[in-house]
Amino acid sequence: MKYSEIQNKTDAELVELVVSTRETLRAERFKDKFSKKASIIKMAKETVAQALTEQTARRNQVVK
């Protein structure tokens, strides 16, 4: 997912994105070692990081 797509989401959508992506990440990590997909894990981690970064940016923008 591109960061510009994440920026266009509402706060509630960002929370849902983080929750669902973390669940995907958890499921991939606990699969047996032969069926793990490194690209799925990497993409999920990036998506979570981008969504959390956007949430922090919005929170800091409101405070100032």
Distance CA 7, CA 50 (A): 9
Confidence of residue 63 (pLDDT cuts 50, 70, 90): low
Token representation of residue 24: 């995907």
Distance CA 7, CA 3 (A): 6
Q: How much is the pTM?
A: 0.84
Residue ranges covered by each domain of the chain:
3-63
- pLDDT single digits (tens) 20-54: 999 999 998 888 777 778 888 899 999 999 999 99
**If we measure between CA atoms, which residue out of 27, 1, 25, 26 comes closest to residue 14?**
1
**If we measure between CA atoms, which residue out of 26, 23, 17 comes closest to residue 50?**
17
